[in-house]
Amino acid sequence: MTVLPTRLDPGSPDYAAHRTAMLDKLAGLDAEHAKALAGGGPKYVERHRKRGKLLARERIELLLDPDSAFLELSPLAAWGSDYPVGAGLVTGIGVVAGTECLITANDPTVRGGASNPWTLRKALRANEIALRNRLPLINLVESGGADLPSQKEIFIPGGALFRDLTRLSAAGIPTVAVVFGNSTAGGAYVPGMSDHTVMVKERAKVFLGGPPLVKMATGEESDDESLGGAEMHARTSGLADFFAADEQDAIRLARRIVHRLHWRRAGAAPDPLAEAPKYDEEELLGIVPGDLKVPFDPREVIARIVDGSDFDEFKPLYGTSLATGWATLHGYPVGILANAQGVLFSAESQKAAQFIQLANQRDIPLLFLHNTTGYMVGKDYEQGGIIKHGAMMINAVANSTVPHISVLMGSSYGAGHYGMCGRAYDPRFLFAWPSAKSAVMGPQQLAGVLSIVARQSAAAKGAPYDEDADAAIRAMVEQQIEAESLPAFLSGRLYDDGVIDPRDTRTVLGLCLSAIHNAPVEGARGYGVFRM
Ligand code: COA
């Protein structure tokens, strides 16, 4: 039998404490997510409604098939910055006319839907997800274009938005622009570079320069409608393929466009007989200790996310601080790598490198469940070749071409974050639990290293060392690194695709695996040189 047993006791004090800690963190994150949902706040939402317009999320809801899921991405973008949480853009994956699509919608209640540096990063990430997973892209457009005060951050890199649209098209991935309002200057290239365009009567405004700019440039007198109205573009310029009577009509037309794509997924279909896990997903709240120094068994997590809790463990007796093995999730085969005791030693690294190569030989996607403090340090380990072995694992991850998904459950520190397919290793999707922490090392360790370096520097100069100042600096550094390691902070910087409720993990992973299988799944047959 390969069905995982469980040792988790939902009646135990430990379980109750872990659950309470997780629920507290979830409540904090809910408050931050609510800020994204609130958009520009009541004043601007009210004004938008008075103009007879739908909100960004209402447009998405109408576009999606009734009662289908929407996997929102990067909802906390811009958290901790000077810009509103959510960055004035909603992005995610949803089903339109039976087809999984990547959808983006400007939120015109947030500074006129203008794009700030975080909006740009969020939009570029959405485009990347569409390209790599071969998802048709639908942009619901109403934006004041570049956020003018921050133009220096966005003007030059922002050209990638329009480049991506035409590269998607060249890769055979359909792009659709539905214009609900302003789409001027650079924004005009969103419909301009899309395969299909819909514009809303008397609402869409698509021009390179509005009437004041035209007056300044050439002296010509003009008005919005004749310069860039939907009717003009449908009848005269030919930029609009469809002239929609109103917003609802535009959404109906977008659904028809997707229907007519007759989109075919290039990846394998899931096993339709996939079983639910044997254990309750609710119990995922009680596994991770509030204090991440206390280890937990990731098999308890695996048992609650994979089909039938069935996990064929690979090398269970070797390199036991990393659990590796095969399972299916919502009917899709996956290879799983999960940190079991925090530290990665040589054996774990070699086992991971072998396992990743096997997944590539068999074209099986990989799931990385993070709870690592990094690779082991110390004389014995250095002499035993930990750098070589860590490099082997990182080589295997970096050159693997099967899709990767990472979930940060607990710690994800140091090069361990890289070996476990951190952000820079291009996982197709990366999500964090509210309990996650990620940084170059733990806050205490980092503050301690700085203190040792400062002490040595003072000694080298023969200067006295101020112990009180040292203690104060250590406390300050610890606090700063702790704050910068937290999921909201990292999500704000687009270092993940969202912070999820652990109870939603199986659903989120199922949606990701389904999206991933729009593209073919092909492992790498060749590798970089492994240092042995
Ligand atoms: N950059 C920075 N802030 C912008 C902005 C932009 N491109 N566009 C709008 N805003 C701000 C406004 O200053 C306003 O802020 P406030 O409420 O604090 O005063 C807020 O967003 C709402 O704008 P408002 O003009 O009241 O909204 P609207 O719905 O009536 O009109 C636009 C929206 C987008 C049509 C209009 O704001 C506009 O024409 N903006 C400039 C467009 C432009 O030329 N962009 C350059 C593209 S490269």
pLDDT of residue 471: 94
Q: Is the CB of 114 under 6 A from ligand 1?
A: yes
Contact (Cβ atoms closer than 8 angstroms) between residue 66 and residue 102: no
Domain 38-261 has CATH 2.40.50.100: no
Minimal-distance CA residue to ligand 1 atom 14: 111
Distance from Cα 115 to the centre of ligand 1, integer Å: 11
Distance from Cα 248 to the centre of ligand 1, integer Å: 24
Contact (Cβ atoms closer than 8 angstroms) between residue 168 and residue 133: no
Q: What are the DSSP E strand ranges found in 269-309?
A: none
For strand 374-375 and strand 312-314, is the pairing parallel, antiparallel, or unpaired? unpaired
CA 500 to chain centre: 10
Distance from Cα 5 to the centre of ligand 1, integer Å: 58
Per-residue pLDDT tens over the stretch 332-391: 999 999 999 889 999 999 999 999 999 999 999 999 999 999 999 999 999 999 999 999
Q: Is the CB of 148 under 6 A from ligand 1?
A: yes
Query: Which of 109, 148, 183, 208 should be mutated for ligand 1, with most atoms under 8 A from CB?
Result: 148
pLDDT of residue 341: 86
CATH class of 1-35+270-436+499-532: alpha beta
Nearest ligand 1 atom to alpha carbon 47: 29
Minimal-distance CA residue to ligand 1 atom 41: 144
pLDDT of residue 526: 85
Q: Is the CB of 144 under 6 A from ligand 1?
A: yes
Q: Is the CB of 404 under 6 A from ligand 1?
A: no
Minimal-distance CA residue to ligand 1 atom 12: 111
Minimal-distance CA residue to ligand 1 atom 1: 147
C-alpha pair distances (Å), 470 with each of 168, 444, 445, 448: 54, 13, 14, 10
For strand 196-200 and strand 175-183, is the pairing parallel, antiparallel, or unpaired? parallel
pLDDT of residue 219: 95
Strands of 137-143's sheet in order across = 70-73, 89-96, 99-106, 137-143, 175-183, 196-200, 242-244
Minimal-distance CA residue to ligand 1 atom 39: 144
Nearest ligand 1 atom to alpha carbon 147: 1
pLDDT of residue 168: 98
* Total H helices, total E strands in the chain: 20, 16
Q: Is the CB of 208 under 6 A from ligand 1?
A: no
Q: Is the CB of 496 under 6 A from ligand 1?
A: no
Minimal-distance CA residue to ligand 1 atom 47: 145
Residues 265, 84: Cα–Cα separation, whole Å: 36
Q: Is the CB of 505 under 6 A from ligand 1?
A: no
Query: Which of 89, 111, 180 should be mutated for ligand 1, with most atoms under 8 A from CB?
Result: 111
User: Which of 394, 400, 420 lies closest to 298 in space, CA to CA?
Assistant: 420
Q: Is the CB of 159 under 6 A from ligand 1?
A: no
Distance from Cα 108 to the centre of ligand 1, integer Å: 9
Distance from Cα 192 to the centre of ligand 1, integer Å: 21
Residues 174, 464: Cα–Cα separation, whole Å: 67
Residues of the chain scoring pLDDT < 70: 1
Q: Is the CB of 186 under 6 A from ligand 1?
A: yes
pLDDT of residue 185: 85
Q: Is the CB of 203 under 6 A from ligand 1?
A: no
Minimal-distance CA residue to ligand 1 atom 46: 145
Residue 500: left (phi > 0), alpha (psi -120 to 50), or beta? beta
Distance from Cα 208 to the centre of ligand 1, integer Å: 16
Minimal-distance CA residue to ligand 1 atom 36: 144
Q: Is the CB of 182 under 6 A from ligand 1?
A: yes
Distance from Cα 182 to the centre of ligand 1, integer Å: 10
Distance from Cα 184 to the centre of ligand 1, integer Å: 11
User: Which of 204, 200, 220 lies closest to 212 in space, CA to CA?
Assistant: 220
Minimal-distance CA residue to ligand 1 atom 42: 144
Q: Is the CB of 84 under 6 A from ligand 1?
A: no
